[in-house]
Amino acid sequence: RKKVLVLGSGPIRIGQGIEFDFCSVHCTWAFAKEGYETIIINNNPETVSTDFDIADKLYFEPLTPEDVESIVNLEKPDGAVVQFGGQTAIKLTEALMKMGVPILGTSAENVDAAEDRELFDEILEKCGIPRPSGHTVFTAEEAKKAANELGYPVLVRPSYVLGGQGMQIAINDEDVDEFIGIINRIAQEHPILVDKYLVGKEIEVDAVCDGEDILIPGIMEHIERAGIHSGDSISVYPAQSLDDHVKATIVDYTRKLAQSLHVIGLINIQFIVCGEDVYVIEVNPRSSRTVPYISKVTGIPIVPLATRVILGKKLKEL
């Protein structure tokens, strides 16, 4: 039997909870159904994915490149799935490729394109999709210059961030200085993003894509204003205050982005709606916190569908 490695999301911490465990477990079950031998790596005793009878093999090890490498050398898996373990698993994509493990689903280059500011901007421009104007900076001086060019208020945050860590709304130069200091304590090696802060409604979409077709189970609307991290924000499904034109735009943008990023499996996109204008603020080529809820509310088995798409099935057949 072919072996597949499913990466969990590790210990629960702020911004990364039990929701990813739901995704890892349902993904494992779907692989088992298709006749694969499943191996889970996760080190959280409180989850279902670390129950002994979920996968064929369970490695209770930290999700670090060194620990994963020793398991890979021992098991020699035919592929790994990183899109169901949140940001923790996504961060291991490059390390796994260096070990020679094929990444199943969305490729590493495309994961990078969604996380990397410059590459992502190019994709948005190609698709003709607007986003809040912003700059990538490395120092407090650059950040202040960028903020004054954009005009306050601005949103200051580290790139490759999880759970809104270090995300702040700055209204003057002093704020920027203070926030950059805080951010540098959290994440040194990545650049800092400074964006124009738009006041509007935040909308979130989870979708499954097979490289061509796309399935959007639902559009969710956040009750809190944009800029409050989605983990601290209550979402409502179905969206309450969007007109048909805005909904159509959101669906169109979702399709374009999923196709441009060659997404195979799950994608999560966050939008801001100001009046009739729709802006994209973030794209994650992985499962998100809202997947379990949308699955339960709509009755659509999103994770099993995404898993079968990762294995090369088409949405039309499913």
Q: How close are the terminal C-alpha atoms of the chain, in Å? A: 23
Looking at residue 159, what is its pLDDT? Answer: 73
179-185 long-range contacts (CB < 8 A, ≥24 apart) are 180/139, 180/140, 180/143, 180/156, 181/140, 183/156, 183/157, 183/158
Looking at residue 114, what is its pLDDT? Answer: 85
Same fold, 3-104 and 112-129+198-310: no
Is the distance from CB of 19 to CB of 91 less than 8 angstroms?
A: no
Question: Which helix (H) or strand (E) covers residue 260, if one does?
Answer: helix 244-260
Q: What are phi and psi of 94, to 5 degrees?
A: -65, -45
Q: Which CATH number fits domain 134-196: 3.30.70.580, 3.30.950.10, 3.30.9.40, 3.30.1490.20?
A: 3.30.1490.20
What's the CATH superfamily of 112-129+198-310? ATP-grasp fold, B domain (3.30.470.20)
Looking at residue 139, what is its pLDDT? Answer: 82
CATH class of 3-104: alpha beta
Structure tokens at 317: 């057949």
Query: Would you list the domain boundaries of the chain?
Result: 3-104, 112-129+198-310, 134-196
**Average pLDDT along the chain, 318 residues, taken 10 residues at a time:** 91 74 93 95 85 88 93 94 87 90 89 84 93 86 90 83 70 87 69 86 93 92 79 85 94 95 93 92 87 92 94 90
The contacts of residue 288 (CB under 8 Å, 6+ apart) are 19, 204, 206, 266, 268
What pairing do the DSSP bridges indicate for beta strands 277-284 and 264-274? antiparallel
DSSP notation for 168-216: EEE-SHHHHHHHHHHHHHH-SSS-EEEEEPPPSEEEEEEEEEESS-EEE
Looking at residue 14, what is its pLDDT? Answer: 65
Looking at residue 160, what is its pLDDT? Answer: 65
Is the distance from CB of 96 to CB of 68 less than 8 angstroms?
A: yes
